[in-house]
Homo-oligomer: A and B are copies of this chain.
Amino acid sequence: MKLKIGFIGSGNVARHLARALNTFGHEIVQVISRTESNAKSLADEFNCGFSNQVHEIDASVELCIVSVSDDQIAEVVSKMPNSDRIVVHTCGSQAMDLLRNVGSNYGILYPLQSFSKDRTPDISTVPFLLEASNPETLIVLHKIASSLSHFVLQADSNTRLKYHLSAVLVNNFVNYLYSEAESFLNDNELDFNVLKPIIKETAFKIQNHSPKTSQTGPAKRGDQVTIQKHLSLLESDKHLAKLYTLLTKAIEGRHH
């Protein structure tokens, strides 16, 4: 099954999805973005049309992928002409119901991955969470997602939100801890590169081991001597000292 696909949005998710869909034989026929130059930039990769107006969506578009920031989906949808085409959004936290006024065929194509401008994801390993307004649409979305990835699952809006919350823990919160460590080392004129191997190993280890059984460290051991040594280093960084204490207590709360 090859579809004519239009994108609304031209950010990292749209860009990487469009490239992958194009690679696997689908036809990208239009890119719409409120900033015309961004629409053109992505459209140029596929020699396709572009626009900065949602209502100019091309009649040939069989699948419209709305990949804009969470809080813009409702506005985009309000401007879309009602039609029979399939309309999906790619967001983890927004209910499918948001799309109910675009027609009868709509759904969700949520790639649970962090996409960056200059990193090409291995799309075949990206989990795609699907939801659809009817069984026929679900079948189409399943075929599309399966043409990209080996990891496709069906999830209703509430389940998707649970995965999204979990992703916040292991992506946003984890990255925040990386950034606190980076700031602390920079403030002390030390080298964040020293941490990169252990960061990689920590993420690798849980690919085959439960993180619960992998937990180590002073908080897990209840090693107050080391905890106090660490806190003594943080006397001039109240923010990090507080964060350290809270996470230490959280770990102690789970493990003791």
Contacts and interface: CB of A to CB of B under 8 A. Distances in A.
Interface of A: 70-71, 93, 112-114, 116, 119, 121, 125-127, 129, 151, 153, 159, 161-185, 188, 190-191, 194-207, 209-212, 214-220, 223, 225-226, 229-230, 233-234, 239, 242-244, 246-247, 250-251, 253-254
A93 B226 contact: yes
Number of copies: 2
Contact of A239 (B163, B178, B250): B250
Nearest to A240: B169
A157 to B, nearest CB: 10
Contacts of A114: 198, 201-202, 205, 216
A216 to B, nearest CB: 6
Contacts of A202: 114, 170-171, 174-175, 203
Nearest to A227: B168
Contacts of A121: 201
Contact of A159 (B153, B172, B190, B220): B190
Given A127-B197, A197-B126, A209-B116, A176 B247 contact: yes
A203 B203 CA distance: 6
Contacts of A129: 194
Most buried by B among A163, A166, A167, A172: A166
A112 B198 contact: yes
Given A70-B226, A212-B183, A197 B113 contact: yes
* A209, A226, A242 — most chain B CB neighbours (10 Å): A226
A114 B204 CA distance: 11
A243 B125 CA distance: 29
B177 A173 contact: yes
Contacts of A209: 116
A206 B192 CA distance: 10
Given A165-B184, A194-B163, A175 B206 contact: yes
Contacts of A116: 205, 209, 214
B211 A206 contact: no
**In the complex, the 8 A-B pairs of residues with the closest C-beta atoms, listed nearest first:** A172-B217, A203-B203, A178-B211, A179-B211, A166-B181, A169-B181, A179-B212, A165-B230
Contacts of A183: 212
Contacts of A165: 184, 230, 233-234, 244
